[in-house]
Chains A and B, each alone.
Chain A
Amino acid sequence: MSATQDLEYRTTKSSISNAQIALLLVIAAVVLACLKPWLPAWLIRVPVEAIPPYEGWLDALFNFIKDDLGLIHLTRALSDALENVLDVTANLLYGRRRWPNIGPIPWSAVAAVVAVLAYYLGGWRLAALAAFTCIWTASIGQWDLAMQTMSVLVVAAPIAILTGLIFGILAWRYRTFDKALRPVLSVLQTLPFFTYLLPAVIFFKVGPTAGAVATIVFAIPPMILMTTLGLRKVPEEIIEAGKMCGSTKWQMLFRVQLPSARTEILVGVNQVIMLCLAMVVLTAFIGMPGLGAKLLAMMGSFKIGRSFEIGITIVLLAIMLDRMSKAWVYKQPIHFQRGAPWWRKHQFALLGFALFVVFILLSELFPILSEVTRKQSLSQGKEIDKAIKSFLAIDGIRAVTEWLRWFLNVWVLIPFRNALLWIPTSAFILVIMAFGWWLAGKREALIAGLFFAIIASTGWWDRAVITLYTVISAVTLATLIGIPLGILASRSPRWAERTLLACDTAQTFPSFIYLIPAIMLFGVNDVAVVFSILIFATVPLTRYTIEGLRTVPAEITEASDMSGANKKQKLSFVQLPLALPTMAVGFNQAINFAFFMVIIAAFIGTQDLGQELQRTLAGTDLGKNFVLGMDVALMALSFDIIVRKWTETRKKALGLD
């Protein structure tokens, strides 16, 4: 029996028994649920007296680390150092009165340099995009705000990239370090944002420093993972060649391995940049200046139009930086002929510098090139407000949303929530384990069971179930919308491109802005919450469906054409099964996004963990804050582990990896 057959045999065999075990677990859960009236109380909910005082322990531990071990002195010293750097960028970009006291640089000069850089990386189209973004930002009157944001990001992103690179190299060199780091990264990626807030403020001082630190922590995981991945993939031959040239360990790393892993590392860089921009609004809660802070202020005084404009600026900045960093991935280093003149080697740097100087001089003559004031700006805030209001006043829209609100609330969401809350904790955990066993296997099922048992033991079970119910509802709806949309879009490459662009936009548009239209359409209730998550969760599903279908090998689709399959058969028997593992990655991301967004939806008004987390911000309940954050992280991790494992097995079985 060959190796592949053997693998096939084993997976099929174990998947049958896995399904059977899952079925047994479900039956056990149903029996438990039916016996609810006669069950002992501790099987229905963990009794209050059995709940360990995690919060007190964590508070004590936290204070010990902070004061007795003196970590706070270290972090405060770090934040002072960071502040010095931030002061410099703040002075240059928006003229904060700090050393070196020469800023702000006129917007037109910055725009010129960015456009030249974009041209160097990706040609005219990219240069046009960059120029448009800068001109839009300035003419809408948000240049100053955008630069306040950028002054932090231009410091935070390189730190995140550099630290990520170092950690990634260490994790690749030392297996044990990698093993220790992985779980930490997983938790970091799933911990709700509200849990970063308080520690960031306490350890790093409210203001741009805390904003920068929170951004770095949030953005670092993919950089580490991609670096490790890239280094692992360096072909043996290249390393051999490096050895033959007699390179030392360091030369090997810097001259051979890191350059060979360039593509993966740059993908990591791209991820860092995108995550940094995703944090622009959330970090405004802890003192990050700029677009995010303005957005919150605008939303606080019900100026939808202007918050919308800020959203567009953020999207444009994100898309510009995303395209530029991607262009950098594809751009291979240029090698000049020996003896090429100096100016030719550095032509773009020279051009950029020349334009920079020209525009600085021009802006002395024409002040509008240096600053567009509020009165000159083209902001259409009030008009957008009016448009939104008149859109909402259309009878048809009202009737549809009223009906949806009634139908979803009364017939779907509320009954579903009540049913989940009715299930005894013990039965619930069994169902989760069954799910894990069915999709992944014994190990994952036990981990998920353990995680949910821990959640039950923290005493926040009901709230956790409500969080989970919202996530399940939103992801289910997102699947129903996102996958058909992806299938439809992938029929023609042009539509696929357009849909992917729409996905990018929807994803970088600050999630906060979704909250307002959600409420205006559906009012403060679960439908609005699910709707706001839905937008966010649909994006990865559509994106990965398109990607999955696009990457089905052409030979296979041709083979199915030749065997006479019609379009529908080809889709359901050939393309979809092959695309399924990729789609599962999208599904996994959708769940993670949903867990991220459900906490933010606390700003609409929920009764789940997010609401309780929001409440802890008022006091300084660090212990409780952390317990709640871990509850969310554990739920997200359970699903993450199960879906990931399933994807791996499927890929192996299909021979796709």
Chain B
Amino acid sequence: MKRFAKTSIACVALSIAAVTGHAADSSDPIVIPIHNWSSQIVMSNVVGQIFEAAGNNVEYVTTDSQAVYESVRTGDVALELEVWEGAFGASFRAALEKGGLHDAGDHDAVTREDWWYPMWTKEACPGLPSWEALNACADKFATAETGDKGRYLDGPVDWLKHGQERVAALDMNFVVVNAGSAAALWAEIGAAEADKRPVVVFNWTPNFAEAVWPGEFVEFPAWEEGCDKDPAVGPNPDALFDCGNPAEGYLKKAAWDGMKDKWPNAYCVLQNISFTNPQIAEMAKLVDTDELEPEEAATEWLEANQEAVVAPWVQACAS
């Protein structure tokens, strides 16, 4: 089955090259960066295997998810498959301004990043997920160092999450503490799980954590365009960030400017690639729950989705 999948992609790819007479891709390896979360690693391997089936050479390199944009810009790596609006938007835009990389289109998947709590928290604070209810039971989230105010564990400062500003704008009874890494967030939830202590932390979807700890996002006043720029927008007329994050943030692909000329076919496929939320969750699950290695997970996923999902991306580049 696996071999069949690969050959079938290869056949399609070859026929494309034969029919259209596209300029052939360079034989240099396409370097794909991988980071430290499973869906991105598997997705990178899936795309890598698609490229390989089309006859390209592919290599993977582990990098920091923020510093990677500098490497895309210089062409050391060819692309980046998961540009989250919230977490990496700033780094991406900064690199875009400097030049060297460009936006290679959005995935179907939407991302959401906001205040989140694991299900057991609801027992202590039944009014959730409304933010007013959360604020009313702020004392349930209090810790030694926050006094009687609740404690909210925000994402790392470099993710620019504006938790502090939101607490001020909505006059909430919470202290914002910044975790230093995703691992710190998980450790905090994991520790709270032991005695079912209520916690509210920063979290996002799609994410492996959904499978480990069922939970919900806090419902803040809905995002309106300009909430981050115009104080008038949102419930508090004098403050910025007085609403929740967009519930449908983008998930982009970024590509090195030189990729189009060096690997025209691969670049074309990259533009067509678009994953959905369930697909990404499935990829993460293969690694996080089923304990497969990322390469195996990618192969398995490709086998299952070859005909319906991947083939059209590759075929579309024929015309």
Q: Is the CB of A611 within 8 A of B157?
A: yes
Residue of B nearest to A284 (CB): B62
Q: Is the CB of B177 within 8 A of A299?
A: no
Q: Is the CB of A618 within 8 A of B91?
A: yes
One digit per residue, 1 when the CB lies within 8 angstroms of any chain A CB and 0 when it does not, for chain B 138-150 equals: 0000011100000
Q: Is the CB of A516 within 8 A of B187?
A: yes
Q: Is the CB of B180 within 8 A of A604?
A: yes
Known: A524-B184, A617-B158, A618-B94. 5 other contacts (CB 8 A): A297-B38, A405-B143, A515-B187, A605-B177, A605-B180
Least Cβ distance of A95 to chain B in Å?
A: 13
One digit per residue, 1 when the CB lies within 8 angstroms of any chain A CB and 0 when it does not, for chain B 296-318 equals: 10000000000000000000000
Q: Is the CB of B184 within 8 A of A604?
A: yes
One digit per residue, 1 when the CB lies within 8 angstroms of any chain B CB and 0 when it does not, for chain A 601-619 equals: 1111111000100110111
One digit per residue, 1 when the CB lies within 8 angstroms of any chain A CB and 0 when it does not, for chain B 27-69 equals: 0000101111110010000000000000001000111101110
Residue of A nearest to B296 (CB): A374
Once A297-B37, A300-B36, A605-B184 are accepted as A-B contacts, the answer to whether A618 and B62 lie under 8 Å apart by CB is: no
The 5 closest A-B pairs by CB, nearest first: A302-B186, A406-B144, A519-B187, A300-B36, A293-B62
Which B residues touch A605, using CB under 8 A? 153, 156, 177-180, 184
Residue of A nearest to B213 (CB): A302
Which residues 396-425 in A have Cβ within 8 Å of B in the complex?
Answer: 398, 402, 405-406, 409-410, 414
Q: Is the CB of B178 within 8 A of A302?
A: no
Residue of A nearest to B181 (CB): A603
8 residue pairs from A and B, CB less than 8 Å apart: A206-B33, A206-B77, A409-B144, A409-B145, A520-B187, A523-B191, A617-B66, A618-B90
Least Cβ distance of B13 to chain A in Å?
A: 19
Max count, chain B CB within 10 A of own CB: residue among A302, A303, A604, A618: A618
Q: What is the total number of residues of chain A having a CB less than 8 Å from a CB of chain B?
A: 59
Once A206-B33, A285-B63, A603-B184 are accepted as A-B contacts, the answer to whether A398 and B296 lie under 8 Å apart by CB is: no
- Tell yes or no: B232 within 8 A of A by CB: no
Q: Is the CB of B144 within 8 A of A405?
A: yes
Once A206-B61, A393-B194 are accepted as A-B contacts, the answer to whether A198 and B67 lie under 8 Å apart by CB is: yes
- Tell yes or no: B292 within 8 A of A by CB: yes
Which B residues touch A207, using CB under 8 A? 31, 61, 76
Residue of B nearest to A518 (CB): B187
Q: A516's contact among B35, B183, B195, by CB below 8 Å, is which?
A: B183
Residue of B nearest to A405 (CB): B144
Q: Is the CB of B194 within 8 A of A300?
A: no
Which B residues touch A288, using CB under 8 A? 62
Which B residues touch A614, using CB under 8 A? 156-158, 180
Q: Is the CB of A301 within 8 A of B180?
A: no
Q: Is the CB of B67 within 8 A of A617?
A: yes
Q: Is the CB of A604 within 8 A of B179?
A: yes
Q: What is the total number of residues of chain B having a CB less than 8 Å from a CB of chain A?
A: 58
Task: Tell me the bound Cα distance from A605 to B157 in angstroms.
Answer: 9
Max count, chain B CB within 10 A of own CB: residue among A207, A296, A605: A605
- Tell yes or no: A392 within 8 A of B by CB: yes
Q: Is the CB of A297 within 8 A of B41?
A: yes
Task: Tell me the bound Cα distance from A181 to B303 in angstroms.
Answer: 58
- Tell yes or no: B188 within 8 A of A by CB: yes
Which residues 166-206 in B have Cβ within 8 Å of A in the complex?
Answer: 177-184, 186-188, 190-191, 193-195
Q: Is the CB of A197 within 8 A of B193?
A: no
Q: Is the CB of A515 within 8 A of B144?
A: no
Task: Tell me the bound Cα distance from A207 to B63 in angstroms.
Answer: 8
Once A289-B62, A406-B144, A605-B177 are accepted as A-B contacts, the answer to whether A398 and B36 lie under 8 Å apart by CB is: no
Q: Is the CB of B183 within 8 A of A206?
A: no
Max count, chain A CB within 10 A of own CB: residue among B57, B66, B193: B66
B positions within 8 Å CB-CB of A: 31, 33-38, 41, 57, 61-64, 66-68, 70-71, 74, 76-77, 90-91, 94-95, 98, 143-145, 153, 156-158, 177-184, 186-188, 190-191, 193-195, 208-209, 212, 287-288, 291-293, 296
- Tell yes or no: A361 within 8 A of B by CB: no
Which A residues touch B178, using CB under 8 A? 605, 607, 611
Which A residues touch B33, using CB under 8 A? 206
Q: B67's contact among A205, A285, A296, A392, by CB below 8 Å, is which?
A: A285
Least Cβ distance of B118 to chain A in Å?
A: 13
Once A524-B177, A617-B158 are accepted as A-B contacts, the answer to whether A300 and B183 lie under 8 Å apart by CB is: yes
Q: Is the CB of B67 within 8 A of A197?
A: yes
Q: Is the CB of B64 within 8 A of A617?
A: yes
Q: Is the CB of A619 within 8 A of B61?
A: no
Which A residues touch B195, using CB under 8 A? 393, 398
Q: Is the CB of B67 within 8 A of A201?
A: yes
Which B residues touch A618, using CB under 8 A? 66-67, 90-91, 94, 158
One digit per residue, 1 when the CB lies within 8 angstroms of any chain B CB and 0 when it does not, for chain A 344-356 equals: 0000000000000
Which A residues touch B98, using CB under 8 A? 620
Q: Is the CB of A515 within 8 A of B184?
A: yes
Which A residues touch B179, using CB under 8 A? 524, 604-605
Which residues 188-213 in A have Cβ within 8 Å of B in the complex?
Answer: 197-198, 201-202, 205-207
Once A519-B188, A617-B64, A619-B91 are accepted as A-B contacts, the answer to whether A398 and B183 lie under 8 Å apart by CB is: no
Which B residues touch A392, using CB under 8 A? 191, 194
One digit per residue, 1 when the CB lies within 8 angstroms of any chain B CB and 0 when it does not, for chain A 514-535 equals: 0110011101111000000000
Once A374-B292, A393-B195 are accepted as A-B contacts, the answer to whether A525 and B145 lie under 8 Å apart by CB is: yes
Least Cβ distance of B305 to chain A in Å?
A: 22
Which B residues touch A619, using CB under 8 A? 90-91, 94
- Tell yes or no: A286 within 8 A of B by CB: yes
Q: Is the CB of A606 within 8 A of B194?
A: no
Task: Tell me the bound Cα distance from A288 to B33 in angstroms.
Answer: 12
